[in-house]
């Protein structure tokens, strides 16, 4: 009953809120518009936008020491989560059956364990820094903590259900994921999409001035 609800109606509600919410949030960003830069550029912005989109994936020259923690823990979490999300065998199956109609090769079990280790270790580390470091403590909002906690719970219940022998465990995982999906468009988690917009805007503006940002 519970399982039927979370796998049926609630899933579709969550999916709709997630998709519509994200699209509305993106539209809201673009709706504000940007004034055209009239200053004669040194070079065109497009190249810079694409460049910065890629180069901000690592640190600026001479900044690796200062960003070492974020770099290591951040990548552990994000790469781990990426593998879990799109390459865990149950997820690939779910995507094939419920979303796209086709799937792809999932990673082997050992790679899944490794990805989960990285994702959990990274997430715990970045969150601990958030509550320990004076800078992150000052600038963090309730939203930041909620996003971390909901993500952690979704991942945790996912691991609990890994054995796949208990429908109750799977139902709990579905529920927590759906909560996360509903929360997503209203939250900090939107950075998963808007980071590309931010990087591109900055990259383009700086390229027009002749700087590789």
| Residues 164-183, interacting with another protein (CB under 8 A) | 165-166, 168-169
Which residue from 19, 111, 137, 149 is in contact with another protein, where contact means CB under 8 A?
Answer: 137
d(CA 122, CA 80): 8
The whole-angstrom separation of Cα 47 and Cα 209 is 12
Does 74 sit near another protein (CB under 8 A)?
Answer: yes
The region that residue 62 occupies, defined by phi over 0 for left and psi between -120 and 50 for alpha, beta otherwise, is left
Q: Does the protein bind another protein through residue 63 (CB under 8 A)?
A: yes
Count the Cβ atoms, other than its own, within 10 Å of residue 161.
19
Q: Is residue 8 within 8 Å of 174, Cβ to Cβ?
A: no
Of 100 and 186, CB closest to another protein: 186
186 is a site residue for another protein (CB under 8 A) = yes
4-12, 89-97, 99-107, 161-169 -> range binding another protein (CB under 8 A) = 161-169
Q: Please select the residue that binds another protein; options are 19, 20, 23, 67, rule is CB under 8 A.
A: 67
Q: Which is nearer to another protein, 91 or 102 (CB)?
A: 91
> Does 156 engage in binding with another protein (CB under 8 A)?
yes
When the beta carbons of 98 and 166 are compared against another protein, the nearer one is 166
- Which parts of the chain fold into alpha helices (H)? 2-7, 9-31, 45-55, 68-87, 89-94, 109-132, 134-139, 142-160, 167-183, 191-208
- In this chain, which of 12, 69, 86, 104 binds another protein, going by CB under 8 A? 69
Q: How far is the CB of 102 from another protein (least distance, A)?
A: 28
Helix axes 167-183, 142-160, angle to 10 degrees: 160
The single residue among 6, 10, 45, 52 that binds another protein, judged by CB under 8 A, is 52
DSSP state of 24: H
Name the residue nearer to another protein (CB basis): 32 or 105: 32
132 binds another protein (CB under 8 A): yes
Both structure tokens of 167:
């429908």
Instruction: Return the residues of window 16-45 that contact another protein according to CB under 8 A.
Output: 25, 28-35, 37-40, 42
DSSP 60: P
């Amino acid at each position: 009953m519970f399982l039927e609800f979370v796998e049926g109606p609630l899933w579709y509600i969550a999916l709709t809120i997630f998709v519509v919410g994200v699209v509305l949030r993106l539209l809201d960003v673009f709706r504000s518009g940007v004034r055209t830069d009239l200053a004669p550029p040194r070079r065109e912005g497009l190249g810079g936008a694409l460049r910065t989109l890629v180069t901000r994936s690592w640190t600026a020259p001479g900044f690796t020491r200062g960003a070492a923690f974020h770099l290591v823990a951040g990548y552990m979490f994000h790469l781990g989560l990426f593998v879990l999300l799109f390459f865990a065998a149950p997820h690939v199956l779910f995507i094939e059956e419920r979303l796209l109609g086709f799937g792809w090769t999932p990673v082997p079990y050992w790679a899944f364990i490794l990805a989960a280790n990285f994702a959990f270790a990274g997430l715990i580390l970045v969150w601990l820094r958030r509550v320990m470091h004076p800078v992150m403590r000052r600038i963090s909002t309730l939203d930041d903590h909620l996003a971390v906690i909901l993500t952690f719970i979704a991942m945790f219940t996912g691991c609990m259900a890994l054995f796949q022998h208990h429908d109750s465990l799977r139902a709990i995982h579905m529920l927590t994921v759906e909560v996360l999906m509903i929360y997503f468009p209203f939250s900090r988690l939107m950075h998963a999409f808007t980071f590309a917009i931010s990087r591109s805007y900055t990259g383009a503006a700086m390229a027009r001035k002749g700087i590789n940002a």
